[in-house]
Amino acid sequence: MATGGAGQLFAVTTNPPQATGDGLAMALRAGVPVADVEFMQFHPTALHHPAMPRPLLSEALRGHGALLRDGRGERFVDELLSRDVVSRAMTARMLEQEVEHLWLDATALDAFDDRFPTIAASVRAVGLDPARDWLPIAPAAHYLSGGIVTDLDGASALPGLWACGEVACTGVHGANRLASNSLLEGMAFAPRVVEAIVGGKEGPAPAGALRAVLAAESPAEGSVPVRRIHRRPPPLLARAGGEAAAPAPHSAATTAERRDRLQRAMTAGAGVLRSAASLAETDKVLDELATPEEGPQGWELTNLLTAAGALLAAAEARQESRGAHSRTDFPETSPAWRCRLVLA
């Protein structure tokens, strides 16, 4: 399984349209352990523009002196803090000032076009001049730190199912992925998966993130303890000759509308800042949307709903704030929750 992330769970994302959590959803349907899905990393500085996926204005800009300004043009956070802290500060400020975006002021940077040619091209493409204009920005869903739990060779708990890349939970990202750590997934884990399969490895080993999952009753010393949680049943898939009682599947047009509704509900209730109340509101929307779908668009929506159900279950269960998971009703990090939430 190498199907990538699930940024399309949210209305605002840097991820391509294919990042619909298909692999994650397939694993959940098969009862294969999946973990850390509450840790969706939001990138603070995505260009606020109707284009989706949102172009990224990389950390390098802030590293070179670009400033974050709120709706009134004032600075409000240390620009060099980590992604989760900056995204939280921005979201809180956007809610307080009732604005849809804030600003990145890179006007004082010298030779912008020469030093950041890709970013310059993407902002100039939407009519902005980085030497003169403040750039509109908002946090966007960027990277799912969790996924299918694997050992250090990419073997999942189901013999024969291997996972690699953003769809996998190898354990290296923990609750708060560091920027550019996808390189680890590609450069360390991808060759290990290939070597293990070619070398005839048949099943999972008690190693990496899978170690504690396989040994849930008596976790090995040094491994992150595991708590198992229940997930909502995945929505029905429409099948020819399926159960007579199943309601009729939706048309492609309404499927697109329903995907949009899911994304907006996830952004509002399960995004950068969450609470029991906002997660429950999102749950209600999922309940309303959980009906049979058919065709590729419908199957994608079914997978999104399945992945969303897992993310909500984990976010509801984790009554603390840790890394990329921020609960406004539980703002502190609690040692009681120093564990990996596993759905299966």
Ligand X SMILES: Cc1cc2nc3c(=O)[nH]c(=O)nc-3n(C[C@H](O)[C@H](O)[C@H](O)COP(=O)(O)OP(=O)(O)OC[C@H]3O[C@@H](n4cnc5c(N)ncnc54)[C@H](O)[C@@H]3O)c2cc1C
| Active site amino acids | 83
Please report how close the Cβ of residue 255 comes to ligand X at its closest, in angstroms.
Answer: 16
Site stretch for ligand X (CB under 6 A), options 3-11, 113-121, 128-136, 274-282 = 3-11
Please report how close the Cβ of residue 22 comes to ligand X at its closest, in angstroms.
Answer: 4
d(CA 181, CA 338): 22
Comparing CB distances to ligand X, the nearer of 19 and 137 is 19
Cβ(101)–Cβ(94) below 8 Å: yes
Output the CA–CA distances (angstroms, integers) from residue 74 to 52, 128, 140, 261, in the order listed. 28, 20, 22, 33
Comparing CB distances to ligand X, the nearer of 122 and 223 is 122
- Angle CA(281)–CA(286)–CA(292) in degrees, nearest 5? 165
For residue 249, the cross-strand partners are none
Residue choice 10, 22, 48, 292 for contact with ligand X (CB under 6 A) = 22
Residue with tokens 């399969």: 197
Please report how close the Cβ of residue 252 comes to ligand X at its closest, in angstroms.
Answer: 18
Q: How far is CA 224 from the centre of its chain?
A: 21
Say how many CA atoms lie within 13 Å of 299 toward its Cβ.
Answer: 8
Here's the x/- map for ligand X, 136-175, by CB under 6 A: it reads as -------x---------------------xxx--------
Comparing CB distances to ligand X, the nearer of 37 and 167 is 167
Residue choice 8, 9, 11, 14 for contact with ligand X (CB under 6 A) = 14
The residue of the chain with the least Cβ separation from ligand X equals 165
Q: In what order do the strands lie in the sheet with 34-35?
A: 168-169, 147-149, 34-35, 340-343, 226-229
Site stretch for ligand X (CB under 6 A), options 12-20, 91-99, 308-316, 325-333 = 12-20
Comparing CB distances to ligand X, the nearer of 177 and 327 is 177
Comparing CB distances to ligand X, the nearer of 209 and 212 is 209
H or E element, residue 262:
helix 252-270
Here's the x/- map for ligand X, 179-208, by CB under 6 A: it reads as -xxxx-------------------------
Comparing CB distances to ligand X, the nearer of 42 and 143 is 143
Residue with tokens 């959590």: 21
Residues 6+ apart with CB under 8 A from 26: 1, 303
What DSSP assignment string belongs to 189-244? Answer: IHHHHHHHHHTT--S--S-THHHHHHTTTSPPTTSPPEEEE--PPPPPBP-TT--T
Comparing CB distances to ligand X, the nearer of 180 and 218 is 180
Buried b / exposed e over 75-113, threshold 16 CB at 10 Å, is: ebbebeeebbebbbbbbbbbeeeebebbbbbbeeeeebe
Per CB under 6 A, does 306 bind ligand X?
no
Could you tell me how many residues of this chain bind ligand X (CB under 6 A)? 18
Per CB under 6 A, does 2 bind ligand X?
yes
Residue 79's SS3 state is: coil
Q: How far is CA 330 from the centre of its chain?
A: 20
Here's the x/- map for ligand X, 228-267, by CB under 6 A: it reads as ----------------------------------------
Per CB under 6 A, does 218 bind ligand X?
no
Of 49-108, binders to ligand X (CB under 6 A) are: 56
Please report how close the Cβ of residue 69 comes to ligand X at its closest, in angstroms.
Answer: 23
Residue choice 15, 150, 263, 326 for contact with ligand X (CB under 6 A) = 15
Residue choice 18, 97, 251, 254 for contact with ligand X (CB under 6 A) = 18
d(CA 2, CA 280): 31
Biggest CA pair distance of the chain: 67
Which residues are at the interface with ligand X (CB under 6 A)?
A: 2-5, 14-15, 18-19, 22, 56, 143, 165-167, 180-183
